[in-house]
Amino acid sequence: MPDFTLTTDADGVATITWDVAGKSMNVMSQAGFAELDGLIGQALSDPSVRGIILTSAKRDFSGGMDLNIIARMKDGGAGGIFDGVMRIHGILRRIERAGMDPKALKGGKPIVAALPGTALGIGLELSLACHRIIAADNPKAKIGLPEIMVGIFPGAGGTTRLVRKLGAMAAAPFLLEGKLSDPGAAKAAGLIDEVVAPEALLARAKDWVLAATDADLVKPWDAKGYRMPGGTPYHPAGFMTFVGASAMVLGKTMGVYPAARALLSAVYEGALVPFDTALRIEARWFTSVLLNPSSGAMIRSLFINKEALEKGARRPAQPDQTVRRLGVIGAGMMGAGIAYVAANAGIEVVLIDATQEAADRGHAHSEDLLDKGIQRRKVTPEQKAEVLGRIIATTDYAALAGCDLIVEAVFEDPQVKAEVTARVEAATSPDCIFATNTSTLPISGLARASQRPEQFIGIHFFSPVDRMMLVEIIRGKATGDRAVAKALDFVRQIRKTPIVVNDARFFYANRCIIPYVNEGIRMVAEGVEPALVENAAKLVGMPLGPLQLVDETSIELGVKIAKATKAAMGDAYPDRAVDRVLFAMADEGRLGKKAKAGFYAYDAAGQRSGLWDGLAASYPVADLQPDLTEVQHRLLFAQVLEAVRALQDGVLTDIREGDVGAILGWGFAPWSGGPFSWLDIIGAARAVEICDALTARHGPRYAAPDLLRDMAVKGDSFYGRFAPATKAA
Ligand code: NAD
């Protein structure tokens, strides 16, 4: 089945229709490009064809390039990638020139992109090479260039064309942030030319083709006297843009994302030369980004494996477990958030708390979020009413009848949870699945309160529930496959990304993040300059330094977790040095952001105003400070060694989940593709070397796990060794 077909009507208007067989969304492949090129050539050379409409038979135009192909492109080495990219430039440039005389700029055939819906990545880049872009007025459509989100940048001329079309400043949010727009906003921003009623799309495209003149086909950058909007880098106005953009990009990315830097370089250098040379420059920088291990790791974790997990890579073979009616017990911060995301996904929700007032407060949380959505024009008043209508807030357990899944989010107290478990089981049918949202209590222990332990599971959400995309599903010792399938189907319904882990203290995400926070605090106690700790974290791509993170999650919570962990571990408890700082902060009432006092100082409005200067009184800053790399290694290895131990101990059973979960769960340096990808980038041998050095200076918590040592000896990588079992791409 071809991806593209060509038909020509009686008026000589050819329509090339994109319709990749067996896929709900068109994606571009190498074969697709060759076909398209062939059909464009055929239409341009056919004297009976007056012009071409490029459109899609599907609801959408295109989701972009097949990223599996991009991931494999690097196999061809630098020369292979560059030649491949230049071939794509050649095809798009042929569309843009459309057979016209390159000097006289006459005699070409008009080519219009008619977009019925979403056009992302190559879908938009291809359209930008056409002479006009007309989109159907489809509010669900997304138009933009999201490449930067997976560690690459638009490399099929999208970068060069958009900057020349809009100017560097106006193009920046689309290129650097991957901003997506609906058709109306895309038209207002100048990304596309026209928005028409969906049923008028093809007729309007045809009218345009038949009315187009030679001048309509000449891109501004191919016309004489072209000047880039906003100016080139050596123009006084352009200079300001480029200087500002470099500072802004480095400020936001801390220089750790190679794609953002390469994109800026392609834009800057491309702006100084003619269009075709700029395309070559774009291709060179694109090649360098593809060869950087960060891009491959980001594509693998943030696109290929994330999607595989969302599509049920870890789902046991079980009949459909779609949730129809959900019970949420505890309408506090987490329960209210869970009720909201479920109702938003069309699920009926019974939200229970101990008092009607508390249950109503939980219901009001959804109302607040929906009102914010209305303000941002993402939600209509009708949708708000519909979503709110799905949530029953009550104290009456009898309302749970008919629920097929319960998520318990009451206080983190085993006794309270046990009572709730018993009450819920008495009120629900025997096949109802019970999930706890506990963040610290082992699932197998909580399951002892259940009459149906095989139907008892952990579904661990992150806060704030509506924004955090990861859900950690925890299998207790007795948890059965149907409970796992139920949890996975629920996570699919609410459009989040699941990982499935085995039961152990702190499961996976918290197990790795707690040592990160603790290492930051330990350094403060040792006299490391707190600003060095925080900046070292950010300069290696962590979204929050450890001190800011503990402020935001609450120092009080940190104290509670430390006490519970110490009680459980006894003499083996390793973090007394950390606790001295943490407990002292709590004793002084510095409980974190909520209390407007923590490792940071806050103003009256609760805005962070800088690190708290009182820290130095209790923890004097040492004269001799460690270098940046040492601090970064301590912070990174605190996390990744825990991830390796989780794999070694069988808590993690799939490294894809380890990487995807780390990035989505606690923001682990996304440029690296996750802890396992990062270890693969530096190599097990180097990792062990660093562990040995850190152990010598800071103690046995940095001892390389046996698994890592074994891999170093054998020269293995994580994705190399675990790929067959995990089917990683
Ligand atoms: P919260 O204190 O905001 O809410 C708990 C709610 O449960 C309160 O509204 C309380 O009235 C209600 N409740 C207590 N006992 C009850 C009972 N017997 N019957 C019905 N309702 C009862 O707490 P939270 O932050 O929402 O946390 C809830 C659970 O989620 C805890 O197990 C916590 O460990 C876990 N969790 C919290 C976070 C987080 O960041 N806060 C993240 C992941 C998981």
The residue annotated as part of the active site, out of 35, 147, 282, 642, is: 147
Going by alpha carbons, the residue nearest to atom 35 of ligand 1 is 438
What does the block give as tokens for 526? Answer: 């040792």
What pLDDT was estimated at residue 728?
A: 41
What pLDDT was estimated at residue 289?
A: 96
Nearest atom in ligand 1 to the alpha carbon of residue 331 is 9
Q: What is the Cα–Cα distance from 380 to 400, expressed in whole angstroms?
A: 29
* Ligand 1 pocket test, candidate residues 363, 434, 439, 496, most atoms within 8 A of CB: 439
Going by alpha carbons, the residue nearest to atom 29 of ligand 1 is 409
Q: What would you measure as the largest C-alpha separation in the chain, in angstroms?
A: 87
Going by alpha carbons, the residue nearest to atom 3 of ligand 1 is 332
What pLDDT was estimated at residue 140?
A: 93
What does the block give as tokens for 175? Answer: 């290129």
Place of tokens 């209590």: 441
Distance 331 CA to ligand 1 centre (A): 7
* Ligand 1 pocket test, candidate residues 351, 406, 410, most atoms within 8 A of CB: 410
Per DSSP, what are the bridge partners of residue 111? 52
The residue annotated as part of the active site, out of 125, 425, 529, 556, is: 125
Nearest atom in ligand 1 to the alpha carbon of residue 440 is 34
What does the block give as tokens for 144? Answer: 């933009």
Contact 546, 519 (CB under 8 A): yes
* Ligand 1 pocket test, candidate residues 436, 437, 511, most atoms within 8 A of CB: 437
Distance 406 CA to ligand 1 centre (A): 14
Query: Closest Cα partner for 87 from 34, 32, 152, 153?
Result: 34
Distance 142 CA to ligand 1 centre (A): 37
Nearest atom in ligand 1 to the alpha carbon of residue 358 is 9
Nearest atom in ligand 1 to the alpha carbon of residue 361 is 9
Active-site residue 177, yes or no?
A: no
Q: What is the Cα–Cα distance from 342 to 409, expressed in whole angstroms?
A: 14
What pLDDT was estimated at residue 729?
A: 40
Which regions of 189-300 does DSSP assign to beta strands (E)?
194-196
Active-site residue 630, yes or no?
A: no
What pLDDT was estimated at residue 252?
A: 86
What pLDDT was estimated at residue 724?
A: 46
What does the block give as tokens for 16? Answer: 């090339």
Q: In 554-654, which residue ranges form alpha helices assigned H by DSSP?
A: 555-569, 576-587, 615-618, 628-648
Distance 462 CA to ligand 1 centre (A): 12
Distance 652 CA to ligand 1 centre (A): 26
Going by alpha carbons, the residue nearest to atom 31 of ligand 1 is 412
Going by alpha carbons, the residue nearest to atom 19 of ligand 1 is 354
Output b/e per residue, 512-551; b: 16+ Cβ within 10 A.
bbbbbbbbbbbbbbeebbbebbbbbbeebbbebbbbbbbb
Residue 311 sits at φ, ψ, to 5 deg, of -85, 5
Distance 606 CA to ligand 1 centre (A): 24
Q: What is the Cα–Cα distance from 131 to 133, expressed in whole angstroms?
A: 7
Which residues line the pocket of ligand 1, CB cutoff 6 A? 329-335, 352-354, 358, 409-412, 416, 420, 437-439, 460-461, 463
| Residue 214 buriedness (CB in 10 A; 0-12 / 13-18 / 19+) | middle
Q: What is the Cα–Cα distance from 564 to 441, expressed in whole angstroms?
A: 10
Going by alpha carbons, the residue nearest to atom 30 of ligand 1 is 409
Between β-strands 27-28 and 64-65, what pairing exists: parallel, antiparallel or unpaired? parallel
Q: How many CB atoms lie within 10 A of CB 124?
A: 32
Distance 407 CA to ligand 1 centre (A): 11
What residues of the chain score a pLDDT lower than 70?
724-729
3-state helix vs strand vs coil in the chain, percent to 5 = 55, 15, 30
Nearest atom in ligand 1 to the alpha carbon of residue 553 is 40
Contact 219, 130 (CB under 8 A): no
Q: What is the Cα–Cα distance from 693 to 583, expressed in whole angstroms?
A: 30
Distance 673 CA to ligand 1 centre (A): 32
Going by alpha carbons, the residue nearest to atom 8 of ligand 1 is 332
What pLDDT was estimated at residue 49?
A: 98
